[in-house]
Amino acid sequence: MTTAKASWYAAEYSNIAPILCGQSLLWLEEQRLKALSQFSEQGFPSSHEEEWRYTNVSAIEKKKFSPTINKTKNLVDIEWLKLYQLQEAWSVVLVDGHFSAELSSLDDLPVDVLVMGMADALQKLPETLENYINQSVNIDENSFIAFNTAWFTDGLFVSVNAKRILEKPIQVLHVATQQDVLAATRTVIILDKMAEASIIETYVGYDNAYLSSTVTEVFVGQNAHLTLYKMQCESEKAYHFGGIYVKQDRDAHFTHHNFAFGALLARSDIHTDLDHASECELNGLYLGVKRQHIDSHTRINHIKPHGISRELYKGVLDDRARGVFQGRVIVAKDAQQTDSQMNNRYLLLSDDAEADSKPQLEIYADDVKCGHGVTVGQLDEKSIFYLQSRCIDEEVARNILTFAFANEMVDRIKIKVLHEMILEQVLIRFPQEGINKEWL
Distance between CA 375 and CA 295 in Å, rounded?
17
Query: Going edge to edge, which strands form the sheet with 265-274?
Result: 113-117, 154-160, 182-191, 211-220, 239-248, 265-274, 293-302, 322-331, 354-363
pLDDT of 74 over the 70 cut? no
At residue 193, φ and ψ (nearest 5 deg) are -60, 140
**Mean confidence (pLDDT) of the chain:** 91
- Determine the pLDDT at residue 222: 98
| Residue 279: pLDDT band with limits 50, 70, 90 | very high
Range 153-167 average pLDDT: 97
Direct distance between the N- and C-terminal alpha carbons of the chain, in angstroms, rounded to an integer: 51
- Tell me the torsion sign for CA atoms 19, 20, 25, 30: negative
HSE of 354, CA atoms in CB hemisphere, 13 A: 12
CB 17 within 8 A of CB 24: no
Please report, as a single letter, which amino acid is at residue 152. F
What's the pLDDT tens digit per position in 16-30?
A: 888 899 989 999 999
- Determine the pLDDT at residue 68: 86
- Determine the pLDDT at residue 432: 62
CB 96 within 8 A of CB 183: yes
Identify which has the larger pLDDT, 44 or 294.
Answer: 294
CB 91 within 8 A of CB 105: yes
Q: At what angle do helices 394-410 and 416-429 cross, to 10 degrees?
A: 150
Distance between CA 261 and CA 295 in Å, rounded?
11
- Determine the pLDDT at residue 134: 95
What's the pLDDT tens digit per position in 189-231?
A: 999 999 999 999 999 999 999 999 999 999 999 999 999 999 9
pTM to 2 decimal places: 0.94
Vertex 269 angle, CA 206 and 236, to 5°: 25
| Residue 9: pLDDT band with limits 50, 70, 90 | confident
What's the pLDDT tens digit per position in 378-429?
A: 766 666 655 666 666 666 766 777 788 888 999 999 999 999 999 989 888 7
Distance between CA 299 and CA 292 in Å, rounded?
23
Range 293-308 average pLDDT: 97
Range 136-150 average pLDDT: 93
- Determine the pLDDT at residue 430: 72
Distance between CA 111 and CA 113 in Å, rounded?
5
- Determine the pLDDT at residue 378: 74
Among 189, 206, 207, residue whose Cα is nearest residue 198 = 189
Calculate what percentage of the chain has a pLDDT beyond 90.
74
| Residues 6 or more apart in contact with residue 271 via CB below 8 angstroms | 137, 243, 244, 245, 246, 298, 299, 300, 301
pLDDT of 431 over the 80 cut? no
- Determine the pLDDT at residue 1: 44
pLDDT of 376 over the 50 cut? yes
Range 152-157 average pLDDT: 96
How many residues make up the chain in this entry?
440
At residue 72, φ and ψ (nearest 5 deg) are -125, 40
pLDDT of 3 over the 90 cut? no
- Determine the pLDDT at residue 433: 59
Among 313, 318, 261, residue whose Cα is nearest residue 291 = 318
- Determine the pLDDT at residue 15: 85
Distances (CA, A) of 122 to 99, 153, 221: 13, 12, 22
State whether residue 134 is helix, strand or coil: coil
User: Which DSSP state fits 85?
Assistant: P
pLDDT of 33 over the 80 cut? yes
Range 268-279 average pLDDT: 98
CB 175 within 8 A of CB 181: no
Distances (CA, A) of 345 to 365, 376, 406, 428: 27, 6, 10, 21
pLDDT of 437 over the 70 cut? no
At residue 394, φ and ψ (nearest 5 deg) are -60, -45
CB neighbourhood size of 313 (10 A) = 26
Residue 372 CA to its chain's centroid (Å):
22
- Determine the pLDDT at residue 221: 98
Distance between CA 401 and CA 220 in Å, rounded?
38
Range 286-298 average pLDDT: 95
What's the pLDDT tens digit per position in 104-126?
A: 999 999 999 999 999 999 999 99
User: Which DSSP state fits 164?
Assistant: -
User: Which DSSP state fits 66?
Assistant: B
Read out DSSP for 24-44? T-HHHHHHHHHHHHHHHHH-S
Please report, as a single letter, which amino acid is at residue 413. I
- Determine the pLDDT at residue 215: 98
